[in-house]
Structure 1
Amino acid sequence: MAIVTVSAAVSHVGKIRSNNQDSGFAGETLFAVADGMGGHAGGDVASALALKRLAEIDGHYNSAVDAEFALQDAIVAANAVLTETVYEHPELTGMGTTLSALVRVGHSVALAHIGDSRVYRLRDDTLTQITVDHTFVQRLVDSGRITPEEAKTHPRRSVLMRVLGDVDAAPEVDLQVMDTRPGDRWMLCSDGLSGVVEFDDIEKILKNNIAPKDAANALIKESLDHGAPDNVTVVVVDVHQSFESPEVTPVIVGSAAQPIAFEQTVGRRTSRIPGLRLHPRSPASSEPSHFEPGSEDYLDELIEEDRRRSRRRKVTWLVSVLIVLALVAGGLFAGYRWTQTRFFVGESDGTVAIFQGVQQSVGPIALSHVFQQTDIQTDDLPPFTQRQVENTISAESVTEALEIVKRLSDSAASGAESGSGTDGSTGTPTPTTAPTPAPTETGAP
């Protein structure tokens, strides 16, 4: 049985953009996504030119390594086409494109990637992101300076560090060869999907046992349901075993599916290749229209800005902790103040005493103290009253506590009076003894 692929490519302009600067391709063995940048004037041109040049290598290869070399050569050629196009059309200066592509060869795939479009693989119902974004924010994540969660809202998340175009005469492209097997589902997409839809939601849709075209449409719909602020392009590729190799008609979507049109401008060619620049992928953003990767000042500025953000986060965290601690301390103090409005009567060192506070304690800290010591001995109290004092008698105020002490004093005094006429030890009355009568004589001897 032969290894075959069933694929689909879908692209949508989104809900905000006026034109589609994405391009997608699903061929016989080649599958690719490109996300153009450079504004209305050049983003669509860049992705279309790059994808059309890459589509020329769609075909069969003896090995995945041969396919990898073909990808590399085609991407270098595509970059040269973009550079020459900018030279011929100066109005396109600054255009560029991301590119993520794979070529299947038997049980292997050759991958090429530059920019922030992505390649995913679903295997055994587990989705894995294969490519790594070439963005400034991803560099911060890799260095441990920010978390992936912080990267989602970072103000510089749109800054790309590597793209094709008039950015770099010799762009650095990630190339690799991986295995594939029947049952694998590959998905390529622009950041119009990955930047909007959560990873778990993408995985859930891809895990559904539906055709590639239905899966791609479902992913597009998910992005639209989340607002789709950017163009979104998806290519889904299923790997199967089959006795027959079906006829495949290549599918091109997005800007590459339209005729390439250049603005008619009058002017001279530039005398040199335009300077290398990096561009934010969102021209609608408030960020600068281009960035200088060759300028250490700019990168230093980005790094320093991130340090300032980190310091602000730390200060915010510290202030929040201090506020929480202050609220807790304030609550504890208010609670302690309330306990000091309470009183109770109890025993202290063998005598009756008035305590201020409550009977409880917090760990080793007692919430009460002796407010007034009396001279009433607890042993002078009746047994029942002694037990009451030992278990404490609550009072709403110090006045009530004093009244309780007065009653206890009276009780102790009553006990003392009832003990008069007793021996000093047991209180048992001392018995009186009648005089013994003198013996009488019964008669003379």
Structure 2
Amino acid sequence: MGGGRHPARLIFSAAGRSWRGAHRGNNEDSYLFSSSAAAVADGVGGHAGGEVASAMVIQNLAAVIQSMRGRALSDDYARESIATANYGVFRRVQHDESLSGMSTTLTALFCAEEDLILAHIGDSRAYLLRDGDFSQVSRDDSFIQELIDAQKLTPADSARHPMRSVVLKVLTGRNDSPNSSVTLSRHQPCEGDRWLLASDGLTDYVPDELVKETVAAGLDPQATVDALIALSEQCDSRDNITAVICDLVQGPSRAEVAVGGAALEIYGQLPAPGTRY
């Protein structure tokens, strides 16, 4: 992989980890991180090839990020990159009908020229810790969130709802489907900010206050994701668990991209730039 650098600016100092969990036979989560991007994808359970969908989207997105060699992305390029990664799912299904119906969530954060771009679809989540305030930035594309928005359900009761795992929007490979439409939002970066991207295996089982305490404990990114995974085990998470921590720091951007979870287990380390799955 190339080691190209650019002048110092706000970049990500990041780490990630994915764990199959104690109750699952495979891992359908994937993640990536670099100095300029981070993402978590959760293959939707109950559909064929969820792990393949998340792995393909993350690997293809990682290849695009690596080809940028640390340069900032525009809104249009971020959207185009996700559409390209999503289309790879469609092409794979064309070649293997047994994977028909596979899909994945995606929550991704990109460094743009002046700010950050958050791309989101599904029920993986993005949180921001700034000056001690910890808040969820993404909105779940879920049946439960619809009920909460309509004031038919309280957040406290949502954890016990039998349809809490129903996701309304995911990447299916079909870019022309409104149910595969990714939401993009812009956010002002501040040095010292800490972002958490996580699959619902963490957020569905670990209380928000414990997540906040762990993210705000002052540990480095790798120790923080390790602590979050340990908390998930203590809380007996019934799902795969994935977390990526991104600290905003001053420094030169780099081209290298790390991948993990199903993306690493199925495809291995990121191949030469330009490769698509």
TM-score class normalised by the smaller sequence: 0.7 to 0.9
Cα offsets for 1:307-331 (capped at 9, x unmatched): xxxxxxxxxxxxxxxxxxxxxxxxx
Provide structure 2 residue ranges, at least 5 long, that are not aligned to the other structure: 1-7, 269-277
Q: Match of 1:192, SS?
A: helix
Question: Does residue 103 of the first structure (1) align with residue 110 of the second (2)?
Answer: yes
Question: Does residue 227 of the first structure (1) align with residue 236 of the second (2)?
Answer: yes
Aligned to 1:71: 78
Aligned to 1:342: none
User: In the superposition, relative to structure 1, how do residues 96 and 222 fare at CA in structure 2: closer, same or farther (>3 Å)?
Assistant: same
The answer to whether the 8 A contact 2:47-2:101 is kept is no
Distance in 1, Cα, partners of 2:91 & 2:11 = 37
Cα offsets for 1:325-379 (capped at 9, x unmatched): xxxxxxxxxxxxxxxxxxxxxxxxxxxxxxxxxxxxxxxxxxxxxxxxxxxxxxx
Distance in 2, Cα, partners of 1:179 & 1:173 = 20
Aligned to 2:211: 202
Shift of 1:173: 1.0
Distance in 2, Cα, partners of 1:2 & 1:149 = 40
Distance in 2, Cα, partners of 1:190 & 1:96 = 14
Question: Does residue 49 of the first structure (1) align with residue 53 of the second (2)?
Answer: no
The answer to whether the 8 A contact 1:30-1:57 is kept is no
Distance in 2, Cα, partners of 1:42 & 1:256 = 12
Aligned to 1:184: 193
Distance in 2, Cα, partners of 1:13 & 1:40 = 17
User: In the superposition, relative to structure 1, how do residues 224 and 195 fare at CA in structure 2: closer, same or farther (>3 Å)?
Assistant: same
Question: Does residue 153 of the first structure (1) align with residue 160 of the second (2)?
Answer: yes
For 1:78-93, list aligned pairs within 5 A: 78-93=85-100
Distance in 1, Cα, partners of 2:101 & 2:45 = 6
Shift of 1:4: 3.0
Cα offsets for 1:225-258 (capped at 9, x unmatched): 111211001000001235xx27564221100002
Q: Which amino acid in the other structure matches residue 13 of structure 2?
A: V
Question: Does residue 238 of the first structure (1) align with residue 256 of the second (2)?
Answer: no
The answer to whether the 8 A contact 1:122-1:207 is kept is yes
The answer to whether the 8 A contact 1:16-1:229 is kept is yes
Cα offsets for 1:399-442 (capped at 9, x unmatched): xxxxxxxxxxxxxxxxxxxxxxxxxxxxxxxxxxxxxxxxxxxx
Provide structure 1 residue ranges, at least 5 long, that are not aligned to the other structure: 262-445
**Percent identity of paired positions between Structure 1 and Structure 2:** 35
Q: Which amino acid in the other structure matches residue 149 of structure 1?
A: A
Q: Which amino acid in the other structure matches residue 184 of structure 1?
A: D
Aligned to 1:126: 133
Aligned to 2:41: 34
Calculate the TM-score normalised by the size of structure 2. Answer: 0.86
Distance in 2, Cα, partners of 1:166 & 1:25 = 19
User: In the superposition, relative to structure 1, how do residues 247 and 57 fare at CA in structure 2: closer, same or farther (>3 Å)?
Assistant: closer
Q: CA RMSD in A?
A: 2.0
The answer to whether the 8 A contact 2:18-2:242 is kept is yes
Distance in 2, Cα, partners of 1:70 & 1:119 = 20
Shift of 1:90: 1.0
| Aligned with 2:124 (options 117, 123, 136) | 117
Structure number with greater CO (CA < 8 Å, separation at least 6) is: 2
Distance in 1, Cα, partners of 2:218 & 2:148 = 34
Question: Does residue 258 of the first structure (1) align with residue 259 of the second (2)?
Answer: no
Shift of 1:80: 1.7
Q: Which amino acid in the other structure matches residue 189 of structure 2?
A: T
Q: Match of 1:94, SS?
A: coil
Distance in 2, Cα, partners of 1:214 & 1:38 = 28
Calculate the TM-score normalised by the size of structure 1. Answer: 0.55
User: In the superposition, relative to structure 1, how do residues 161 and 246 fare at CA in structure 2: closer, same or farther (>3 Å)?
Assistant: closer
Q: Which amino acid in the other structure matches residue 33 of structure 1?
A: V
Distance in 2, Cα, partners of 1:55 & 1:128 = 27
Distance in 1, Cα, partners of 2:245 & 2:113 = 18
The answer to whether the 8 A contact 2:87-2:174 is kept is no
Cα offsets for 1:382-409 (capped at 9, x unmatched): xxxxxxxxxxxxxxxxxxxxxxxxxxxx
For 1:5-404, list aligned pairs within 5 A: 5-39=12-46, 41-58=48-65, 59=68, 60-61=70-71, 66=74, 68-105=75-112, 108-165=115-172, 169-170=176-177, 171-242=180-251, 245=252, 249-260=256-267
Q: Which amino acid in the other structure matches residue 162 of structure 2?
A: P
Q: Match of 1:44, SS?
A: helix
Shift of 1:86: 1.5
Bigger Rg over Cα: 1
Q: Which amino acid in the other structure matches residue 241 of structure 1?
A: Q
Q: Which amino acid in the other structure matches residue 90 of structure 1?
A: E
Q: Match of 1:164, SS?
A: coil
Q: Which amino acid in the other structure matches residue 226 of structure 1?
A: C
